[in-house]
């Protein structure tokens, strides 16, 4: 009897302790928000390069550039081989931030009325930071279209590109000087990211850090430590410096004990500027530099609606959650980030507008191996499974225009012909008709009703 009473007393004490602990736990969610608690949600670190080619990294087939840190990241996570951004900078960023095709989210002209995942995730209890190239406010300091108005607690970087070998920096909403040392930018953004993680981050909250590098967008340069050192010319030096700096940032993630609960996503905003017209006409490069990336087996490069414009490297790591050492050819895209973060981090996808992205949590966590059923190429065409259709007047940007391209319908079997060399449109007219009808469902409607074909 005595021992039974003791056990009951112990149980009562444990119960009281547990209740007390639960009551004392600090909720991470804004009490006024309807979002689910973010207590077990992962931190998110997006490392976004500019104009980096599909085959620039050793783990994507490059035989010259040494990229040990990103190769290691691929071993620790999943390497995606059918991952799509968009074909140029601004549209790529509006799509990534909103989950909406550039025909809706408007690219460089992204209006203040667009809803970014940063706005939603902050309401779900996250701390948010954007460091680097913004490029969705028409490269101007328009306050209600800058990062702080679009969901970020902290911003440092240039609002536009570095075409003239110079960037104008902002910190939050204030000008923070100009910088013409292109070889120092990768280190500068990495230092700012590390400082944010160590000094500005609130350890009581999960975080999302969106780090959008200016390199490898020309005018490219590397620091003295890396310039002239790689086998791939100046472009290779920049790739290798980016790899080194990414490793330095990932080491800090480890040092701060954040590795296990941080979803790391590395990818690029579009393909490489590798066209002849570009290399002959673009001014301002350092003398003798080799400044283009590798598209590997893919056709054309940045600005094109052929695969090398849109298809980019993508590595995702979340230890113990995202399968390590896996290669996935499932179709996955930056437009999927918003719905996927919604599931992982506990917020609702906007219901008042059409969201083109889909929730890819199952694919990321290895619970399924299938991804998107289709991917739309902005004002150009569509891929469904192995089939890709391009319309006669498919949109190309600037240097990517292929002057000898006949303005006819194109159909490719990407399984048999990844380099898009054999046009099968005349052979499979029913497939052309099917893909055109699917494309019309995407281009023809902005309203939020579910897409039955998806």
What does the binding site for Ca ion look like in residue numbers (CB under 5 A)? 50-51, 89, 269-270
Q: Nearest distance from residue 49's CB to Ca ion, in Å?
A: 9
Phi, psi of 185 (to 5 degrees): -70, -40
Q: Nearest distance from residue 379's CB to Ca ion, in Å?
A: 18
Residue nearest to Ca ion (CB): 89
Q: Single out the residue of 125, 99, 140, 142 nearest to residue 39, CA to CA.
A: 125
What angle in degrees, to the nearest 10, is found between the helix axes of 185-195 and 233-255? 10
Residue 90, CA distances (Å) to 13, 86, 94, 443 in order: 59, 9, 6, 19
Q: Which is nearer to Ca ion, 107 or 151 (CB)?
A: 107
Q: Which is nearer to Ca ion, 284 or 448 (CB)?
A: 284
Torsion of the alpha carbons at 161, 44, 184 and 222, rounded to the nearest 10 = -90
Q: Which is nearer to Ca ion, 97 or 197 (CB)?
A: 97
Q: Nearest distance from residue 161's CB to Ca ion, in Å?
A: 8
Q: Which is nearer to Ca ion, 160 or 371 (CB)?
A: 160
Q: Nearest distance from residue 127's CB to Ca ion, in Å?
A: 27
CB 265 within 8 A of CB 44: yes
Residue 385: Cβ within 10 Å count:
12
Q: Nearest distance from residue 158's CB to Ca ion, in Å?
A: 13
Q: Which is nearer to Ca ion, 274 or 328 (CB)?
A: 274
Q: Could you give the CA distance from residue 48 to residue 200 in angstroms, rounded to a whole number? A: 21
Phi, psi of 43 (to 5 degrees): -70, 155
Residue 279, CA distances (Å) to 204, 272, 273 in order: 49, 12, 8
Q: Which is nearer to Ca ion, 39 or 166 (CB)?
A: 166
Q: Nearest distance from residue 216's CB to Ca ion, in Å?
A: 9
Q: Which is nearer to Ca ion, 210 or 389 (CB)?
A: 210
Q: Single out the residue of 370, 377, 299 nearest to residue 329, CA to CA.
A: 370
The DSSP element (H or E) to which 326 belongs, if any, is strand 326-333
Q: Nearest distance from residue 397's CB to Ca ion, in Å?
A: 10
Q: Could you give the CA distance from residue 70 to residue 76 in angstroms, rounded to a whole number? A: 10
Instruction: Write a three-state SS string for 166-209.
Output: CEEEEECCEEEEEECCHHHHHHHHHHHHHHHHHHHCCCCCCEEE
Q: Which is nearer to Ca ion, 122 or 311 (CB)?
A: 311
Contacts of 320 (CB under 8 A, 6+ apart): 260
Q: Nearest distance from residue 135's CB to Ca ion, in Å?
A: 8
Q: Which is nearer to Ca ion, 29 or 308 (CB)?
A: 308
Q: Which is nearer to Ca ion, 85 or 328 (CB)?
A: 85
Q: Could you give the CA distance from residue 216 to residue 293 in angstroms, rounded to a whole number? A: 8
Beta bridge partners of 327: 79
Q: Nearest distance from residue 196's CB to Ca ion, in Å?
A: 23
Q: Nearest distance from residue 68's CB to Ca ion, in Å?
A: 25
Q: Could you give the CA distance from residue 444 to residue 5 in angstroms, rounded to a whole number? A: 72
Residue 416: Cβ within 10 Å count:
9
% helix, strand, coil for the chain, step of 5: 35, 15, 50
């Amino acid at each position: 009897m005595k021992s039974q009473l003791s056990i009951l007393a112990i149980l009562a004490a444990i119960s009281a302790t547990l209740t007390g602990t639960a009551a004392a736990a600090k909720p991470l969610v804004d009490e006024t928000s309807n979002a689910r608690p973010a207590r077990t949600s992962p931190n998110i670190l997006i490392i976004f390069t500019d104009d980096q080619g599909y085959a620039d990294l050793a783990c994507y087939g490059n035989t010259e550039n040494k990229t040990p840190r990103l190769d290691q990241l691929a071993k620790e996570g999943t390497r995606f081989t059918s991952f799509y951004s968009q074909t140029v900078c601004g549209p790529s960023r509006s799509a990534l931030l909103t989950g909406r095709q550039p025909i809706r989210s408007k690219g460089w002209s992204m209006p203040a009325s667009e809803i970014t995942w940063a706005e939603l995730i902050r309401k779900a209890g996250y701390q948010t930071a954007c460091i680097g190239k913004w490029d969705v406010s028409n490269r101007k300091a328009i306050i209600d279209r800058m990062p702080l108005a679009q969901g970020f607690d902290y911003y440092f970087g240039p609002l536009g590109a570095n075409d003239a070998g110079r960037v104008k920096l902002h910190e939050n909403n204030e000008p923070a000087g100009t910088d013409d040392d292109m070889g120092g930018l990768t280190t500068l953004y990495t230092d700012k990211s590390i400082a944010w993680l160590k000094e500005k981050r609130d350890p009581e909250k999960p975080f999302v850090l969106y780090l959008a590098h200016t390199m490898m967008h020309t005018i490219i340069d590397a620091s003295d430590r890396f310039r002239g050192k790689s086998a791939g010319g100046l472009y290779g030096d920049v790739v290798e410096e980016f790899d080194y700096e990414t490793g330095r940032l990932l080491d800090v993630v480890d040092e701060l004990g954040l590795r296990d609960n941080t979803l790391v996503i590395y990818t690029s905003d579009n393909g490489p500027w590798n066209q002849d017209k570009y290399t002959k006409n673009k001014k301002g490069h350092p003398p003798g530099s080799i400044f283009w990336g590798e598209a590997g087996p893919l056709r054309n490069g940045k600005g094109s609606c052929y695969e090398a414009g849109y298809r980019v490297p993508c590595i995702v790591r979340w230890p113990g959650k995202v399968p390590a050492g896996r290669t996935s050819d499932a179709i996955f895209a930056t437009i999927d980030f918003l719905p996927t973060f919604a599931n992982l981090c506990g917020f609702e996808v906007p219901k008042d507008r059409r969201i083109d992205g889909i929730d890819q949590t199952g694919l990321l966590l290895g619970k399924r191996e299938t991804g998107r059923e289709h991917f739309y190429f902005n004002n150009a065409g569509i891929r469904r499974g192995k089939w890709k259709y391009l319309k006669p007047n498919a949109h190309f940007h600037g240097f990517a225009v292929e002057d000898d391209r006949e303005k006819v319908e194109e159909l490719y079997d990407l399984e048999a012909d990844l380099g898009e060399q054999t046009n099968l449109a005349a052979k499979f007219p029913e497939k052309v008709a099917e893909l055109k009808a699917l494309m019309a469902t995407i281009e023809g409607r902005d309203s939020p009703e579910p897409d039955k074909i998806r």
